[in-house]
Chain A
Amino acid sequence: KAGVTQTPRYLIKTRGQQVTLSCSPISGHRSVSWYQQTPGQGLQFLFEYFSETQRNKGNFPGRFSGRQFSNSRSEMNVSTLELGDSALYLCASSFASSTDTQYFGPGTRLTVL
């Protein structure tokens, strides 16, 4: 069974640009969550989607957005990038909710210059 895949694995952007990250969950999983990981703040929850609906959102500015498609694949978008957005962005999928086992992808390393 294929794991969670994320593309691209690495990205370099400049301040003010926008970026779109993609996540393909494990087959059969309908819940996709996104997390930001930084050395200073650790792993922080961004948002979670289930059946194309956002069920929960973390404490991030509106520049961070996401969506989920009918095949459960998900994208997150960050607009007007800031230096502080440099981080590892992790996607996790689970069958239906956070009390189901969440499986993480390898992450997308975003560097903002």
Chain B
Amino acid sequence: GENVEQHPSTLSVQEGDSAVIKCTYSDSASNYFPWYKQELGKGPQLIIDIRSNVGEKKDQRIAVTLNKTAKHFSLHITETQPEDSAVYFCAATWMDSSYKLIFGSGTRLLVRP
């Protein structure tokens, strides 16, 4: 069925360290994979996305990698800062039921000063 698994559920890192969040999806036809950051009291904000014809994408301290064969994708945040503390969600499109995103369960990232 439609499913996106996300790990870990919580992640605590020291400021300046890297953080990695991983997601796996079940629909091999999925072709769009966004990552969202949600701060307390706000809606999710897109931070980076990747499409199935690309293996990696970077934007400053944030990068996403996609392995279509293994059906997993990961978010990498380098040189973490306290303002990176938030809940991060991965998502995937579901091509047999298009026009919707299936979200992972979220990762609460805490960056310790």
Docked pose: A101 CA to B47 CA in angstroms: 10
Task: Identify which of A44, A56, A58, A103 contacts B98 (C-beta below 8 A).
Answer: A56
**By the criterion CB–CB under 8 Å, are B34 and A42 in contact?**
no
**Min distance, Cβ B37 to any Cβ of chain A, angstroms:** 11
Name which of A31, A58, A97, A102 has the most chain B CB atoms within 10 A of its CB: A102
**Restricting to A55-113, which residues have a CB under 8 Å from any CB of B?**
55-56, 58, 90, 92, 97-99, 101-107
Docked pose: A35 CA to B43 CA in angstroms: 11
CB within 8 Å: A-B pair count = 62
Q: Which residue of B lies closest to A90 (CB)?
A: B43
Which residues from B are CB-within-8-Å of A33?
99-101
Task: Number of B interface residues at 8 Å Cβ cutoff, please give it.
Answer: 25
**By the criterion CB–CB under 8 Å, are A97 and B43 in contact?**
no
Which residues from B are CB-within-8-Å of A35?
103
Which residues from A are CB-within-8-Å of B46?
101-103
Write 13 A-B pairs (CB below 8 A) sorted by A numbering: A56-B98, A56-B99, A97-B98, A98-B93, A98-B100, A99-B51, A101-B34, A101-B46, A101-B49, A104-B44, A104-B45, A106-B43, A107-B43
Which 9 A-B pairs give the minimum distances between C-beta atoms?
A: A104-B43, A43-B103, A99-B32, A45-B100, A48-B99, A56-B99, A55-B99, A104-B44, A106-B43
Chain A residues within 8 Å of B, Cβ to Cβ: 4, 31, 33, 35, 42-45, 48, 50, 55-56, 58, 90, 92, 97-99, 101-107
